[in-house]
Amino acid sequence: MEIGGLAAIVGTEHVLTGAATRGLLGDMTESRGVAGHAEAVVRPADAGEVAAVMAWCWEHGVALTPRGGGTGYAGGCVPQGGVVVALERLRDVRSFEPLLWRAEVEAGLTTHDVRRRARESGLYYPPDPGAGEQSHIGGNVATNAGGPHAFKYGVTGAWVTGLEVVLPPGRLVRIGGAVRKDVAGYDLRSLLIGSEGTLGIVTAVTLRFVPAPEAALPAIAFYADEHSGGEAVQAAMASGIVPAALEFLDREALEIVRAAFPFDVPPDAGFALIAEADGDLASAQRGQAALHELMAPDALAVHLPSAPAEVAALWRWREGVGLAAAAALGGKASEDVGVPVERLAEIVAGTRAIGARHDLATCSFGHAGDGNVHATFLLRSGDATATERAHAAAQELFALAIELGGTVSGEHGLGGVKNGQLRHQWDPAAVALHDGVKRLFDPRGLLNPGKKLA
Ligand SMILES: Cc1cc2nc3c(=O)[nH]c(=O)nc-3n(C[C@H](O)[C@H](O)[C@H](O)COP(=O)(O)OP(=O)(O)OC[C@H]3O[C@@H](n4cnc5c(N)ncnc54)[C@H](O)[C@@H]3O)c2cc1C
């Protein structure tokens, strides 16, 4: 590939090749052996340059893989040749209108920066996927990322009113904007949200916010196993309040992070449930008390932190669970299956049984209220066949999730690692529509090839 044309668009110093691309061709699937290759990584400065890069690639038949913060768990930004379009230089806040609860930000701003900007003005941007200091808002849109507080507030898409996106063959298009309701056309905004860079490249996002809740008060309860824990999840949902978050860890996950937990963990705990009530101080306190009352009966212990520093420590600890699981034996293959909430205990127990059949240690944790489970197979460093066994185990896990009425992916997407799974889950007619949408947007198949295929 002759890259002079790309250098003419973005400048020579922003076309990286060879060793300079190191660290820009992978994501979190690296620890399970997923590796990418590309002829160049380009770093456009703005939306106009993204459009020009796509037009150049289209003309030369070169594949493009959009890259955000590289924190994905599905290999979505891992290129299979062609050019990586890294969005890291698109970091402007184009407009911020706190009194109208909204902002337009460029795709490369980190999730953390968006949340911080909102908070500084007394506002709240709820989506909080766990790698927010590194993940980009564009990557969050492309994966429709969730996080602990998606239970009450919804996933990223619930907070996006408009997109600026580069579509093949290199056109900059606006879909939606600051308007909060818009049913004039088919919902193209939702179609692009979660499309994992296979339909277009997001260059800017119009977000809505809400006034920040005054207080957030968690209740953490420990149970003997996932069966009593699963019952407690349903009890918390019947508490009469909408918990802001309902997170869980199974016995093995608790074991991995027990030492770092900011409070005491009972020695026989086999399941932890973290619920949170938010709102003005009085309602958060009432909510915490209601959660306590319903979660306590079968619990081995309950903690009710109230100091902001304690609450912050709890969520920092929760954010570290995934990385601690990866470090436990040297690597992990972590899936993100989703099931109806009342099937939570079955998928947790099923993950453990599948792991045992493939001689793999497991742990499960995640978003209990959403039935979204990070079912994790631990990979021991030096175990030459662990990755292969984890792949086989994952196929059984996906089948179980579907059998339980669930999904193969609750929040990470199909990316490259779950390709082809959708056709086990969806009706053939729906799969055909899925394929047709891809062809309509990207008739030459140049946008993130090999990803999110049904
Ligand atoms: C510790 C940890 C905790 C996590 N917790 C959560 C969680 O709670 N919930 C959750 O949902 N996820 C979670 N994740 C996964 C990950 O952070 C999210 O999927 C995140 O949205 C990915 O954003 P990114 O910018 O890193 O995207 P990348 O990994 O760079 O890319 C992800 C996909 O989006 C595409 N893409 C990226 N930017 C654009 C763009 N501008 N336009 C079009 N396509 C684009 C890529 O091609 C790829 O297909 C976690 C990850 C880690 C490491």
Q: What is the per-residue pLDDT for 3?
A: 84
Count other C-beta atoms under 10 Å from residue 76's C-beta: 29
* Percent of the chain with pLDDT strictly greater than 90: 93
- In this predicted model, what pLDDT tens digit does every residue of 195-248 receive, in sequence order? 999 999 999 999 999 999 999 999 999 999 999 999 999 988 887 889 999 999
* Closest to 263 in 3D by CA, of 302, 226, 319: 302
pLDDT digits (tens, 9 = 90+) for 398-439: 999 999 999 999 999 999 999 999 999 999 999 999 999 999
| b/e 84-104 (16+ beta carbons within 10 angstroms → b) | bbbbbbbeeeeebeeeebbbb
Residue 236 confidence (pLDDT): 86
Query: pLDDT digits over 330-363, tens only?
Result: 999 999 999 999 999 999 999 999 999 999 999 9
> What value does the mean pLDDT take over residues 132-159?
97
Sheet with 102-106, side-by-side order of all strands: 93-97, 102-106, 201-208, 160-167, 171-176
pLDDT-derived band of residue 31, with 50, 70 and 90 as boundaries? confident
Q: Does ligand 1 come within 6 angstroms of the Cβ of 39?
A: no
Residue 262 has a pLDDT of 85
pLDDT tens for each residue of 111-137: 999 999 999 999 999 999 999 999 999
Centre of ligand 1 to C-alpha 67, Å, is: 9
**Cα 140 to middle of ligand 1, angstroms:** 5
**Pocket lining: 143 vs ligand 1, CB cutoff 6 Å:** yes
pLDDT value at 50 more than 90: yes
Give the alpha-carbon dihedral of 3, 65, 430, 406, to 10 degrees. Answer: 170
Atom of ligand 1 nearest to the CA of 200: 43
* Averaged pLDDT of the chain: 96
Identify which of 77, 144, 192, 411 to mutate to test ligand 1's pocket (most ligand atoms within 8 A of the CB): 77
Which pLDDT value is given to residue 240? 80
What gap in Å lies between CA 138 and CA 273, rounded to an integer?
A: 31
Of the listed ranges 31-35, 241-245, 297-301, the one predicted with least confidence: 31-35
- Using the mean position of ligand 1's atoms as its centre, give its distance from the Cα of residue 72 in Å: 4
- Mean pLDDT over residues 292-315, rounded? 93
Cβ of residue 322 lying under 6 Å from some atom of ligand 1: yes
DSSP string for residues in 409-442:
BSSS--TTTTTT-HHHHS-HHHHHHHHHHHHHH-
Is 247's C-beta closer than 6 angstroms to any atom of ligand 1? no
Q: Using most ligand atoms within 8 A of CB, pick from 46, 71, 156 the residue to mutate for ligand 1.
A: 71
Indicate whether 22 pLDDT > 90. Answer: yes
- Residue 1: pLDDT above 90? no
- The answer on pLDDT for 167 being more than 90 is yes
Ligand 1 geometric centre to CA of 161 (Å): 19
pLDDT at position 191 is: 97
Q: Mean per-residue pLDDT for 173-181?
A: 96
> Does ligand 1 come within 6 angstroms of the Cβ of 135?
yes
Residue 110 pLDDT more than 90? Answer: yes
Note if the pTM is more than 0.85: yes
Ligand 1 mean position, distance from CA 143 (Å): 6
* Mean pLDDT for the stretch of residues 181-204: 97
Rounded Cα distance, 324 and 255, in Å: 11
Instruction: State whether the beta carbon of 139 lies less than 6 angstroms from ligand 1.
Output: yes
Atom nearest to 27 CA in ligand 1? 29
CA of 135 to the centre of ligand 1 (A): 6
3-class secondary-structure state, position 42: strand
Please indicate whether residue 336, judged by its CB atom, sits closer than 6 Å to ligand 1.
no
CB-ligand 1 contact for 70 (6 Å cutoff): yes
